[in-house]
Amino acid sequence: MMLLARYALIIPAIIVMAFYAPMLFDVAFGERVQKTHIFYSPVLKKFIWLDKLISPEEEGLEDVHHAQFVQMDQDGKRYTRQEFEKLLPFIYYRNMEIWGLLPLELEGKTFDKNTIKANRQVIEFKPRQIDDRALKDEVYPLIESVPGSARLIFPEDRFRLGREFEFINADYNRRDEKVTQVFNDALKEAGFQFPGRLAAGKSTILKPFDEGVFLVDADGNVFHVKRVNGKPRVIKTPIDPALNVRSIKVNENRRKEFYGLALTGDKRLHLISYDNYRLIPLPLESYDPETMDFKLIINPLYRTATYSDDETIRAVVMDSQYRPLDKYQHTMPGASLTMAQSIFNSLTPFRLNLEDPTQGYFSLEIDWHGWRSWISIAIGLAIFVFLAYRRRSKGPALVMDGILVALTGLYGLVAVSILPPQKE
């Protein structure tokens, strides 16, 4: 009984150490900003990027601004912060105006502040935003698209999609039979097959206008639903149900070029065009939506897509028709371990994570430190055998302690040392 009680304390101790030791290390030595920010310069016609330095460099090689950053182009040339911003006039147009550099001329065209503002757009898509990889709100607002006021207003009801398109009055928390009936009749008339698989919209009034929601029915058909003057407007889009639309991200923008992004079953990202819902496939080589963050940056001349995992960032620049013009990839500084990380990974065989950044669910995961895990286990076992020999330990507790140390390295060694077996 005492033996079981001892291990009931040892095992939780190992779990706590495997969770908090890496966390404390990250606070003390971890690099918080390791991702590279890569852009396409319309001035140079090259890719340029901003990296935060992991290790300090020789003085004078970088432009210091609150921390050590390096600004470079694809040929390895470095720039000061101001030089870097001048190479991205559509992003830093406010500074360009302050510096008296507006209007600017590029490729035979003139761009003033208003022209730049009207032709900029950014949309992002992360793995945890995929519809089936995160907890959903389950109830959504269907905002009035013609509010009759200067700004959008949240409705009194919310809807949920399942075996029907059900509206619930948010003030009284009860089903609104009338609105439910009206919208369900409109959906059925348009050919919607219940139960619904997906509902996607931008549930905020902090946007220039409202484009309603996109719904995917049981057969994979995509429908566009809006509330216009309190009445349903339902359009069955021509998007091929065979594409198996997996997720949609709506992004209302005054440019009105596309409704948002659509991820299809073949792991490809598309833009949903205002041109009769035509899907525009984005030319993203080696893109994996399960692990990569995606960003699309639009300016008056180019469209630049960047997507990255923990090691490599890739970029492709496109023309206004989304035809690829050039591409580039860059290994980020965070991809290689620092000296402190190498030492820590050699002393601890693994770490416990309670969340996966690529999904929104709680997730208990064991992240092994590769071949360095064996170093921790070897050190732990060597010290364990030495201490056991000196103490002349024996019995079943010694064998079980040895197995724990062989599995958990120094975590196990610390735990069994703090809670030694009682002498018989």
Encode pLDDT of 166-186 as tens digits: 999 988 899 999 999 999 999
Note the pLDDT of residue 56. 52
Lowest mean pLDDT among 27-41, 95-109, 366-380: 27-41
Quick one: which of 237, 234, 228, 238 has its CA closest to 186? 234
Q: How does pLDDT run across 209-240, given as a tens digit for each residue?
A: 999 999 999 999 999 999 999 999 999 999 99
Please, what is the average pLDDT of the chain?
A: 88
List pLDDT tens digits, range 131-157.
Answer: 877 666 689 999 999 988 888 999 999
* Domain ranges, ordered by start, for the chain: 2-30+340-418, 37-119, 127-284
pLDDT given for residue 353 in this prediction: 81
Q: Is the pLDDT reported for residue 67 higher than 60?
A: no
> Does residue 33 have a pLDDT over 70?
no
Q: Which two tokens stand for residue 249?
A: 């991200």
60 vs 350, higher pLDDT: 350
Contact 409, 344 (CB under 8 A): no
Concatenate the DSSP letters of all residues of 103-163 into one string: SEEETTEEE-HHHHHHT-EEEEE-GGGSGGGS---S-B---BSS-SSSS----SEEEEESS
pLDDT recorded at residue 10: 87
pLDDT tops 80 at residue 362: no
Contacts 24+ apart (CB under 8 A), 389-396: 393/421, 395/421, 395/424, 396/3
* Amino acid 354: pLDDT: 75
pLDDT-derived band at 423, boundaries 50, 70, 90: low
Residue 310 has pLDDT above 50, yes or no: yes
Across 11-34, average pLDDT: 79
pLDDT reading at 318 higher than 90: yes
pLDDT attached to residue 65: 45
Q: How far apart are CA 303 and CA 300, in angstroms?
A: 8
- Nearest Cα to 48, choosing from 333, 302, 330? 330
Average pLDDT of span 339-363: 77
The reported pLDDT for the residue numbered 398 is: 81
pLDDT above 70 (res 6)? yes
Residue 60 has pLDDT above 50, yes or no: no
**pLDDT attached to residue 420:** 76
In three-state secondary structure terms, 298 is strand
